[in-house]
Amino acid sequence: MKEKDPKISKESGEQPTRLHYIPLGRAAPDMVLGMPLVLTELGVVRFNLPAGHKLNQANLDQLQTRHAEIVCVVEPDTRTPEEQEAALASAEKELDKIFQLADNSQILIRNLRNAVMDYRKR
């Protein structure tokens, strides 16, 4: 089953969203997971919640018991288009600096840079 993209199209008239990684202590009931949450112990999956799952207090208690530290949640994207463009330009500049000494003629390096940029666009 294919996961739904948590971003909502602006054309639909609904408020767009973005992914935000937060410490578990800031997570609250009714927040929605933006990415699957999988906790393992010695290579065995001990706890698993899908992207799009609405957290409840029992989930948060289980995550704390299992020593989770970070969760990815969906939040409204209240930035203006100009702010979004500025953030993207800043991320592009930062990646240029990070990859300045890398051999960008290598396909693996280009793919890594593209993957990081795609992630930052979220």
pLDDT tens, residue by residue, 25-61: 999 999 999 999 999 989 999 999 999 999 999 999 9
Q: With 90 as the cut, is the pLDDT of residue 5 above it?
A: no
Here the tokens at position 59 are: 């989930």
pLDDT cut 70: percent of the chain above it: 89
Q: What strand order describes the sheet that includes 17-23?
A: 17-23, 70-76, 32-33
Q: With 50 as the cut, is the pLDDT of residue 7 above it?
A: no
Contact 95, 113 (CB under 8 A): yes
Here the tokens at position 69 are: 């530290």
The CATH number of 10-76 is: 3.90.105
Global pTM reads: 0.67
Q: Is the pLDDT higher at 84 or at 57?
A: 57
Distance CA 49, CA 77 (A): 23
Contact 94, 117 (CB under 8 A): no
pLDDT of residue 6: 43
- CA nearest neighbour of 51 among 100, 4, 89, 102: 4
Distance CA 71, CA 37 (A): 7
- CA nearest neighbour of 95 among 108, 113, 112, 109: 113
